[in-house]
């Protein structure tokens, strides 16, 4: 393995990024030297995404780019698109090794097997993509035991989804819901604390599905809060139906819990939500948000919204806009609807043009910008504690940047090394989406 090099490229979500760190670590420990993806390498690993059609295209582009950089390299395609687009990848013949989502922890083993085969057959290829939707799979430990020097660590606690929303391909790429042993989670966080991490973001494909024996999501959070050295706990996306009053009350009793909640909305129109096969109405969504606002002081509520879902009328889009204002979100992640092959939405009538989807997305982004400004304005003059992360150039000035518990991004002036340090002060003027924090 001496002098063998490997390069990695990740597409998609925080779960993918977490898993890529685990794969990178496995090769590093085996003696590989990890180099930037832009350099020539012996092995290229592309952790693909399939959440949109654009993500599919980018995945294939990065695979082809790796092949161009070194025609003799082993090019590995793994992740979500490797599951759903396996046949396309086989037909195009650019990837040498295709690994499904539940095979990522076997990356090193599969590369070594392929290298052995190539001693007799230089053109040998391997496909290792078990049907993740058939059979019962346990949670697979495929994350890193070490992380690079950062201040905030993402920790994956569950995988898979049982919801089958009409627009979504992810259940076909990730399989059924499965949760991680809480003791494994606690062990990982304990090790990360030793490495200097203080803030932990719990992530998973459907976080609120977490259930391991008698341990539910809030039970797990309570356990994590008892780990010595943990200073903040943040959550990934939450399903509205899981945010009950008891859920919000128990969370608020955990002092380390950040008052920032990303709620999985998708649309502010009840008729669109029904076509999407979402399990809540807009009234139920607002009820869940109301519980969070009851038990937390002006929490940051963020969401995802899709524009241009099949059949979305002007009236339904208007309902979404008005709902966004009523819910008073801090941030909205706006996505134009993307057709996913194999989903029910693909077969629906009333597919809208790219132009209409783009126009509606732009209108919603404008509304979202105003709502964010409103939320930030309410915090001017308030006392805040921020965890600083890195120095950035903002409007010609180099400043330290970081986040408050509400996920408000701040600017802090100091000539000292402030990375990983907590600072307190008063929130001042808004500057390019940041807020100045002054001691």
Res 122: pLDDT: 87
1 has a pLDDT exceeding 80 = no
Q: How sure is the predictor about 246, in pLDDT bands with cuts at 50, 70 and 90?
A: very high
> Same domain, yes or no, for 258 and 399?
no
> Same domain, yes or no, for 205 and 346?
yes
Res 282: pLDDT: 98
150 has a pLDDT exceeding 70 = no
Res 227: pLDDT: 98
Q: How does pLDDT run across 75-133, given as a tens digit for each residue?
A: 999 999 999 999 999 999 999 999 988 889 999 999 999 999 999 998 889 888 877 76
What is the residue range of 340's domain? Answer: 152-378
Report which of residues 316 and 51 the model is more confident about: 316
Mean pLDDT of 245-253: 98
Is residue 135 situated within a structural domain? no
> Same domain, yes or no, for 310 and 413?
no
331 has a pLDDT exceeding 80 = yes
- CATH number where 351 lies: 3.80.30.20
2 has a pLDDT exceeding 80 = no
> Same domain, yes or no, for 301 and 396?
no
Is residue 138 situated within a structural domain? no
Is residue 420 situated within a structural domain? yes
> Same domain, yes or no, for 326 and 390?
no
Among 111, 9, 24, which residue's Cα sits nearest to residue 62? Answer: 9
Single residue among 343, 378, 413 that ends a domain in this structure: 378
Res 333: pLDDT: 96
> Same domain, yes or no, for 294 and 361?
yes
Is residue 136 situated within a structural domain? no
Is residue 143 situated within a structural domain? no
Res 141: pLDDT: 72
Q: How sure is the predictor about 46, in pLDDT bands with cuts at 50, 70 and 90?
A: very high
Percentage of the chain exceeding pLDDT 70 = 96
> Same domain, yes or no, for 221 and 319?
yes
> Same domain, yes or no, for 368 and 393?
no
> Same domain, yes or no, for 171 and 265?
yes
Single residue among 128, 163, 188 that ends a domain in this structure: 128
> Same domain, yes or no, for 426 and 366?
no
The rounded mean pLDDT for the chain is 93
Res 408: pLDDT: 98
437 has a pLDDT exceeding 70 = yes
Res 30: pLDDT: 93
Q: How sure is the predictor about 143, in pLDDT bands with cuts at 50, 70 and 90?
A: low
Mean pLDDT of 151-168: 92
Res 151: pLDDT: 81
> Same domain, yes or no, for 199 and 317?
yes
Q: How does pLDDT run across 363-400, given as a tens digit for each residue?
A: 999 999 999 999 999 999 999 999 999 999 888 889 99
Q: How many domains does the chain have?
A: 3
> Same domain, yes or no, for 240 and 280?
yes
Q: How sure is the predictor about 58, in pLDDT bands with cuts at 50, 70 and 90?
A: very high
Is residue 237 situated within a structural domain? yes
Mean pLDDT of 268-278: 98
Single residue among 94, 128, 162 that ends a domain in this structure: 128
Is residue 218 situated within a structural domain? yes
- CATH number where 97 lies: 3.40.50.12160
Is residue 266 situated within a structural domain? yes
CB-CB neighbours of 28 under 10 Å:
14
């Amino acid at each position: 393995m001496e002098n063998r090099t490997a390069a990695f490229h990740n597409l998609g979500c925080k779960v993918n990024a977490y898993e890529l760190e685990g794969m990178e670590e496995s090769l590093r420990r085996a003696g590989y030297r990890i180099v930037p993806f832009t350099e020539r390498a012996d092995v290229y690993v592309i952790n693909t995404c399939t959440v949109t059609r654009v993500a599919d295209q980018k995945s294939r582009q990065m695979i082809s780019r790796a092949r161009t950089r070194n025609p003799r390299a082993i090019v590995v395609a793994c992740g979500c698109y490797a599951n759903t687009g396996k046949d396309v990848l086989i037909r195009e013949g650019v990837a040498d090794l295709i690994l499904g989502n539940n095979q990522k922890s076997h990356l090193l083993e599969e590369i070594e097997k392929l290298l052995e085969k190539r001693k007799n057959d230089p053109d040998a290829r391997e496909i290792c993509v078990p049907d993740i939707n058939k059979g019962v799979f346990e949670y697979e430990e495929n994350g890193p035991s070490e992380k690079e020097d950062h201040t905030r660590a993402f920790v994956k606690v569950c995988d898979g989804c049982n919801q089958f929303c009409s627009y979504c391909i992810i259940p076909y790429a990730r399989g059924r819901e499965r949760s991680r042993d809480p003791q494994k989670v606690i062990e990982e966080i304990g090790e990360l604390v030793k490495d200097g991490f203080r803030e932990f973001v719990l992530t998973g494909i459907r976080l609120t599905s977490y259930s391991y024996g008698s341990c539910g999501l809030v039970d797990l959070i309570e356990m994590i809060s008892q780990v010595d050295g943990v200073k903040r706990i943040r959550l990934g996306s939450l399903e509205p139906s899981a945010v009950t009053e008891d859920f919000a009350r128990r969370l608020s009793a955990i002092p380390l819990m950040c008052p920032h909640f990303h709620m999985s909305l998708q649309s502010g129109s009840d008729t669109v939500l029904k076509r999407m096969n979402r399990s809540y109405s807009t009234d139920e969504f607002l009820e869940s948000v109301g519980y969070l606002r009851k038990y937390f002081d002006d929490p940051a509520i963020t969401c995802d919204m899709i524009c241009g879902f099949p059949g979305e009328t002007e009236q339904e889009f208007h309902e979404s806009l008005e709902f966004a204002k009523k819910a008073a979100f801090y941030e909205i992640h706006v996505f134009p609807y993307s057709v996913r092959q194999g989903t029910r939405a693909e077969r629906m009538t009333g597919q809208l043009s790219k132009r209409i989807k783009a126009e509606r997305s732009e209108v919603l982004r404008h509304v979202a910008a105003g709502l964010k400004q409103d939320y930030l304005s309410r915090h001017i003059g308030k006392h805040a504690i921020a965890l600083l992360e890195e120095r950035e150039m903002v409007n010609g000035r180099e400043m330290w940047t970081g986040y408050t518990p509400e996920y408000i991004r701040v600017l802090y002036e100091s000539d000292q090394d402030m990375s990983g340090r907590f600072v307190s002060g008063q929130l001042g003027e808004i500057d390019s989406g940041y807020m100045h924090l002054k001691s």
